[in-house]
Amino acid sequence: MGKSEVQSIPIHRPEPNLICVPAPCKSVLHTNQFANSLEKLEITEEDGREEIEEAAKIPEGYEKYNNQMAGHVNDNNIGMLKQEGMVLKPILKRECGERETGFYKNLSFTLDKTISELKNFVPKYFGTKQLTVDGKTREFIVLEDLIKDFKEPCIMDIKIGKRTWDPNATLEKIRSEERKYQDCKRDLGFCIPGFQVYKLSNNQLVKYDKEFGKSLNKERAEDAIKTFLNAEGTRMCRSLIVQFLAALWQIQYWARNQRQLRLYSSSILLVYDARRLREKMKFGKLTSCFKLTRKGSLYRPMSLAVLNKNNECDRIPTGFSGQLTKEGPILKSPRSPSKSVNLEMPTIASNNTWSKSISSLKRTHSFQNNYDKDVQCRKQDYTYLLDELNTEQKTECWAFAKMIDFAHVFPAENCDIDRNYLDGIENLVRIFEELLIESD
């Protein structure tokens, strides 16, 4: 079995520290409907053949999971699979599989209050399943797909803990783990093995692989989190940060109190829907109307934070009047007159050749560009509206953090706090709290 490799072809560098890796073209076009509506989706014969070959390796009714940020894949680059809102994680090492399934089973049966609380922080567990992939029959852990409702999933895998090897690790394993992500683990108590982000600036899906993660130090890891949040060079979306913090505070509170488990090499998966973020930015709501009321310092636990979720102004205006015609949905009057699109061509004021050429220049460059942009925006609006109409219910929560990967969970030998895990969580919380202050 090999490890998950994202092709490392730098395509552009928005800043010197970050290596941008293009997503497979098909996935960009497929998942990015805005781009899709403007560019033709070209599937070459070779692509088609690859698809057929791949399908032959994966049982019918299942698909390769393309949103796997880290973790194990086989020699043919097949790792996790997906099926109807679920992901299937292959068990490649027996002991790891037993520990992880044991962990999830324990959650379903436990009467212990602290352990039971964990159910709120992890994906739903649906048991195990045997499948034959690539001619090999394997057992899979079946879990809820955390991004199943997202149109443009942004995902960051953050492995928690300075120490990422468990008590059964061989000397060789300890050495190999200690060599990886050194700076980040030492200074932050976590590392970032992979993430992907739909950039709002250019509508492009960009993936960052584990080699990128290994190159990070404290400062660059913090920059990477900003990149993930689409917060480079722009104001940050406060409600995005608050939603993450809400989840992280709860996990922090749990980790501060639990004394039964040791979580080695376990991850926090941060996920959000860039589509919803784009809507927020587009409708002029860079800052959220979530009200964060706290008594005292920012470093107090979750219980002191009150999120004003019912606030009227946090609703995203869709512009949809509620009426549908054969031509499509009827929109309400333009959001703001200054933003309304004038589809008429400008009239040429004079007959003079010089002013004619200026006009035509304006038309081809400035006007035409603006015109194209306006049409693009309209198309994007319609795509959103249609998506909304197709979705039964728009979930309020479009960003959250969950705990994943319990292949190295052990019982605590002494009834002590899991400092290794807690330190990582506290640093992560601190970074998000600082971002919250910055976003003020």
Ligand X SMILES: O=P(O)(O)O[C@@H]1[C@H](O)[C@H](O)[C@@H](OP(=O)(O)O)[C@H](OP(=O)(O)O)[C@H]1O
Ligand Y SMILES: Nc1ncnc2c1ncn2[C@@H]1O[C@H](COP(=O)(O)OP(=O)(O)OP(=O)(O)O)[C@@H](O)[C@H]1O
Using CB under 6 A, list all residues that contact ligand X. Answer: 3, 93, 96, 164, 180, 193, 210, 265, 407
Q: What does 237 bind: ligand Y, ligand X, none (CB cut-off 5 to 8 Å by kind)?
A: none
Q: Which two tokens stand for residue 425?
A: 């969580």
Minimum CB separation of residue 196 from ligand X in Å reads: 16
Distance CA 373, CA 210 (A): 36
Nearest Cα residue to 229 out of 435, 10, 33, 397:
435
Region of 174-182, 184-192, 262-270, 273-281 interacting with ligand Y (CB under 6 A): 262-270
Using rule CB under 6 A, residue 255 touches ligand Y: no
Question: DSSP 3-state assignment of 19?
Answer: coil
Minimum CB separation of residue 100 from ligand Y in Å reads: 8
Q: What does 210 bind: ligand Y, ligand X, none (CB cut-off 5 to 8 Å by kind)?
A: ligand X
Whole-number Cα distances in Å, 364 to 24, 38, 89, 361, 370:
32, 18, 52, 5, 10
Using rule CB under 6 A, residue 399 touches ligand Y: no
Minimum CB separation of residue 93 from ligand X in Å reads: 6
Distance CA 35, CA 28 (A): 8
Using rule CB under 6 A, residue 205 touches ligand Y: no
With respect to ligand Y, which residue has the nearer C-beta, 236 or 269? 269
Q: In what order do the strands lie in the sheet with 136-144?
A: 63-64, 81-83, 86-90, 136-144, 125-133
Distance CA 63, CA 79 (A): 10
Using rule CB under 6 A, residue 409 touches ligand Y: no
Alpha carbon distance, N-terminus to C-terminus of the chain = 47
Q: What does 269 bind: ligand Y, ligand X, none (CB cut-off 5 to 8 Å by kind)?
A: ligand Y
Using rule CB under 6 A, residue 69 touches ligand Y: yes
Minimum CB separation of residue 89 from ligand X in Å reads: 12
Minimum CB separation of residue 128 from ligand X in Å reads: 17
Minimum CB separation of residue 391 from ligand Y in Å reads: 19
Whole-number Cα distances in Å, 107 to 83, 184, 354, 407, 415:
23, 31, 77, 14, 19
With respect to ligand X, which residue has the nearer C-beta, 174 or 436? 174
Question: Using CB under 6 A as the criterion, what x/- string covers residues 3-42 for binding ligand Y?
Answer: ----------------------------------------
> For residue 167, what are the contacts with CB-CB under 8 A and spacing of at least 6?
262, 410
From candidates 31, 68, 227, 239, binder to ligand Y by CB under 6 A:
68
Q: What does 273 bind: ligand X, ligand Y, none (CB cut-off 5 to 8 Å by kind)?
A: none
Nearest Cα residue to 282 out of 212, 376, 403, 352:
376
Residue 278 C-alpha from the chain's centroid: 14
From candidates 28, 29, 34, 89, binder to ligand Y by CB under 6 A:
89
Distance CA 198, CA 202 (A): 8
Using rule CB under 6 A, residue 155 touches ligand Y: yes
**Backbone dihedral region of 15: left (phi > 0), alpha (psi from -120 to 50 degrees) or beta?**
beta
Q: What does 404 bind: ligand Y, ligand X, none (CB cut-off 5 to 8 Å by kind)?
A: ligand Y
From candidates 146, 241, 263, 292, binder to ligand Y by CB under 6 A:
146
Helix axes 218-228, 419-438, angle to 10 degrees: 60
> For residue 4, what are the contacts with CB-CB under 8 A and spacing of at least 6?
68, 69, 70, 71, 72, 73, 77, 79, 194, 209, 210
DSSP H or E stretch at residue 400: strand 399-404
Beta strands in 19-113 (DSSP E): 21-22, 63-64, 81-83, 86-90
Q: How many residues form the binding site for ligand Y (CB under 6 A)?
A: 25
Minimum CB separation of residue 24 from ligand Y in Å reads: 16
Using rule CB under 6 A, residue 71 touches ligand Y: yes
With respect to ligand Y, which residue has the nearer C-beta, 146 or 236? 146
Minimum CB separation of residue 190 from ligand X in Å reads: 13
With respect to ligand Y, which residue has the nearer C-beta, 80 or 237? 80
Nearest Cα residue to 243 out of 20, 12, 432:
432
Using rule CB under 6 A, residue 88 touches ligand Y: no
Q: What does 266 bind: ligand X, ligand Y, none (CB cut-off 5 to 8 Å by kind)?
A: none
Nearest Cα residue to 134 out of 76, 65, 73:
76
Q: Which residue is nearest to ligand Y, using beta carbons?
A: 71
Region of 68-76, 103-111, 228-236, 279-287 interacting with ligand Y (CB under 6 A): 68-76
Beta strands in 134-246 (DSSP E): 136-144, 153-160, 190-199, 204-208
Residues that bind ligand Y (CB under 6 A): 67-72, 80, 87, 89, 123, 143-147, 155, 157, 193-194, 265, 267, 269, 404-405, 407
